[in-house]
Chain A
């Protein structure tokens, strides 16, 4: 069975601090995708990143970076120099991968609420 665990329920930091959100997943699929989404109070899930199971390269996008380690089944997300606008709930998700690059439905973790205080 597929499962995503986000052990941190809430994190509070002061602006400009670095913060890492943890994600651990379980799957028996050999091909799968991992995601991070941001959910501001408006409710919409904002896509941040998709990573396939064959690509363990870390990725950096501006102040965001992701560390994917298959050996520990983890896909952690780091925000550098956090800002108040980063305050939101962040979800890690997993889906099965199919031939041609399509994906199955998303299995979400319970989310981590990040509060960045000025």
Chain B
């Protein structure tokens, strides 16, 4: 039974560019949440997708957007990258909005 899969594992981008991160949820899960973890900090909630709609959103600017596909997989898009966007981006999947979260290994984004 596959867990949460995230791609790519590492990514280097230049300031001002755009990036797309991908997440496949655990088999049987229909909800995907995204978290940003800066170095030395705890993860911070970005947003959650359920039934292909954004259901909850944390305190992140509109440069952060997402999408959920009919197969429940999800993308996180970040536009106009800033140096401060450098972080580990974690995807968590769950069932029906949140009955226990399973996390992926994350995508480490470096903005130079």
Q: Mark A residues whose CB is within 8 Å of B.
A: 4, 37, 42-47, 50, 91, 93, 95, 98, 101-111
Q: Which residues of B contact A91 (CB under 8 A)?
A: 42-43
Of A50, A98, A108, most B-chain CB atoms within 10 Å: A108
Whether A104 contacts B98 in the complex (CB less than 8 A), given A45-B90, A91-B42, A110-B41, comes out as yes
Is the Cβ of B105 less than 8 Å from the Cβ of A43?
Answer: yes
CB under 8 Å from chain A, chain B span 12-64: 33, 35, 40-45, 48, 56, 58
* Residues of chain A contacted by B35 (CB below 8 angstroms): 106
Is B66 an interface position by the 8 A CB rule? no
Q: Which residues of B contact A93 (CB under 8 A)?
A: 42
Contact of A108 with B44 in the complex, beta carbons under 8 Å: yes
B residues less than 8 Å from A95 (CB atoms): 98
Q: What band does the interface of chain B fall in when counting residues whose beta carbon is under 8 Å from A?
A: 20 to 34
Q: Which residues of B contact A (CB under 8 A)?
A: 33, 35, 40-45, 48, 56, 58, 88, 90, 92, 96-106, 108
| A45–B37 CA distance with the chains assembled, in angstroms | 11
Inter-chain contacts of B102 with A (CB < 8 A): 47
Contact in complex: A43, B108 (CB < 8 Å): yes
Cross-chain contact A45 with B43 (CB below 8 angstroms): yes
Given contacts A45-B90, A95-B98, A106 and B45 within 8 Å (CB-CB): yes
With contacts A101-B99, A102-B97, A104-B56 taken as known, whether A44 is within 8 angstroms of B104 at the C-beta atoms is yes
| Pairs A–B under 8 Å by Cβ, sample size 19 | A43-B105, A44-B103, A45-B43, A45-B103, A47-B100, A47-B102, A98-B97, A98-B98, A101-B99, A102-B99, A104-B56, A105-B33, A105-B45, A105-B98, A106-B101, A107-B45, A108-B44, A110-B42, A111-B40
